[in-house]
Amino acid sequence: MKPDVVVVGAGLAGLSAAVRLAEAGASVRVLAKGVGSTHLGAGTIDVLGYDADGRRVDRPLEALGGLPAEHPYRLVGRAGVSAAIEWFKGRIADGPRAPYAYVGDAEQNVLLPTAVGAVAPAGVVPETMVGGDLRGGGRVCVVGFRGLKDFFPALVADNLSRGPDGVTARGVELDLRPEGRADPNALAYARAFDDEGFRAEVVAQLVARVAPDELVAFPAVLGLVSPHEVWAEMEHRFGRAVFEIPTLPPSVPGIRRTSPLANRSPSTRPVNDEDRPSVRASSSLVQTSNGSRLRVRKIALRASVSARSSWSSNIGSSPTVRLRAECPPTAWEPTRVAGEGSPAVGRTFISTMPFVVQL
């Protein structure tokens, strides 16, 4: 069936546009290679953080009047901007990670620390970050993990303390690694925080090292499946505000907000046998330019791939929307590929091949 609308790109803008069109009754197809920018951004919605002269904006809605007449915000107006924000917050609140939610609006920006210790304005943010609003200054204990090379608590704390916002911060590093992994990233730590035992170890190592008047800042890894529960428990255990600071990619908050937009369950039907992928693979050794030998596999794919067997392995969620894999009859892929008749496709598939979301 020919769609009414084709949306190119599966970032926040592309998925939001596709879902809103589908909710209005249109047949929509999303074309993308990979998962868009969702894994890269901080996970906040920065409605209007700075004006044309680079000055920090405190009240975005009031500042819209100073934008050029052709600016998209001016075209949709204040009511349109506010309505779009409420729609987005509603999608997150009704998503698979509920009661995980976004808070805030375009009336007032908060000031949140970044991955390098700068302070940046944001309008709508995950509930797990809002405790880090530093508009009033304060003392912060920035917690890191020795195994997480994408977050440097000492750097963050030093830059926060040097800034003009009245913040005094210090860094603390814990020697905890998920399942003893040698080089875990933010996603590995987020999955570890979903485990009650790992959280107990974090609290045991940290509770005596935090001063009574300090806020507690973690890298943005407080749970992937149940972030609300993890964050609420950590606040309860420490008896104070606990918040997340964005890390380098992969962005756990960005991943969390993807599934509510990719999930459109009312129009989803179960995957039938004829929808399951058929994968035929053959391999051969190829001589590379530097003289090494690389084994590659030639794959041919047919039919549809369910989101549960492909996309979820990449973004850590289980959206019910179906993904239709559309690629050439044959393709060369230097990765492990599932055998013929298997209901799963290799993890690298979605990140390297074009895919289509049918809404």
Q: Could you read off the pLDDT of 13-67 as tens digits, one per residue?
A: 999 999 999 999 999 998 888 777 888 889 999 999 999 899 999 999 999 999 9
User: Is this structure's pTM higher than 0.85?
Assistant: no
150 shares its domain with 173: yes
135 shares its domain with 174: yes
205 shares its domain with 280: no
Whether the pLDDT of residue 338 is over 80: the answer is no
142 shares its domain with 241: yes
pLDDT interval class at 161 (50, 70, 90): very high
Q: What is the 3-state secondary structure (H, E, C) of the chain?
A: CCCCEEEECCCHHHHHHHHHHHHCCCCEEEEEECCCCCCCCCCCECCCCECCCCCECCCHHHHHHHCCCCCHHHHHHHHHHHHHHHHHHHHHHCCCCCCCCEEECCCCCEEEECCCCCEEEECEEECCCHHHCCCCCEEEEEEEECCCCCCCHHHHHHHHHHCCCCEEEEEEEECCCHHHCCCCCHHHHHHHHCCHHHHHHHHHHHHHHCCCCEEEEEECCCCCCCHHHHHHHHHHHHCCCEEEECCCCCCHHHHHCHHHHHCCHHHCCCCCHHHCCEEEEEEEEEECCCCCEEEEEEEEEECCECHHHCHHHHHCCCCCCCEEECCCCCEEECCCCCCCCCCCCCCCHHHHCEEEEEC
Q: Does any domain span residue 17? A: yes
Torsion, Cα 220 226 232 237, to 10 degrees, reads -80
* The pLDDT value given to residue 291: 54
Given 223, 250, 277, the domain boundary residue is 250
283 shares its domain with 246: no
Q: Does any domain span residue 265? A: yes
Residue for token digits 């599966």? 10
* The pLDDT value given to residue 307: 31
* The pLDDT value given to residue 339: 34
115 shares its domain with 232: yes
Q: Could you read off the pLDDT of 65-87 as tens digits, one per residue?
A: 999 999 999 999 999 999 999 99
210 shares its domain with 280: no
245 shares its domain with 111: yes
Given 250, 274, 306, the domain boundary residue is 250
| DSSP bridge pairs for 300 | 280
* The pLDDT value given to residue 290: 52
315 shares its domain with 270: yes
Q: Does any domain span residue 54? A: no
Give one word for 179, left, alpha or beta, with left for phi > 0 and alpha for psi -120 to 50. Answer: left
236 shares its domain with 106: yes
**In Å, how far are 214, 215, 323, 355, 359 from 4, measured between CA atoms?**
54, 50, 18, 18, 11
Q: Does any domain span residue 16? A: yes
Residue for token digits 């046998």? 273
113 shares its domain with 187: yes
Question: What percent of the chain lies above the pLDDT cut of 70?
Answer: 73
In this prediction, residues 299-321 reach a mean pLDDT of: 32
Q: Which residue has the higher pLDDT, 352 or 10?
A: 10
Q: Does any domain span residue 46? A: no
* The pLDDT value given to residue 34: 76
Q: Which residue has the higher pLDDT, 335 or 149?
A: 149
- What is the residue-averaged pLDDT of the chain? 79
Q: Does any domain span residue 204? A: yes
* The pLDDT value given to residue 264: 57
In this prediction, residues 118-128 reach a mean pLDDT of: 96
Whether the pLDDT of residue 329 is over 90: the answer is no
**Contact status, residue 194 vs residue 228, Cβ threshold 8 Å:** no
C-alpha span between 99 and 102 (Å, rounded):
10
189 shares its domain with 312: no
Lowest pLDDT segment from 86-90, 174-178, 355-359: 355-359
In this prediction, residues 263-289 reach a mean pLDDT of: 42
Q: Tell me the residue range of the domain where 34 lies.
A: 5-38+260-358
Q: Does any domain span residue 299? A: yes
Given 201, 223, 250, the domain boundary residue is 250
Whether the pLDDT of residue 295 is over 50: the answer is no
C-alpha span between 115 and 244 (Å, rounded):
10
Whether the pLDDT of residue 313 is over 80: the answer is no
**How many domains does the structure of the chain reveal?**
2
Q: Does any domain span residue 347? A: yes
Question: Tell me, what amino acid is at 330?
Answer: T
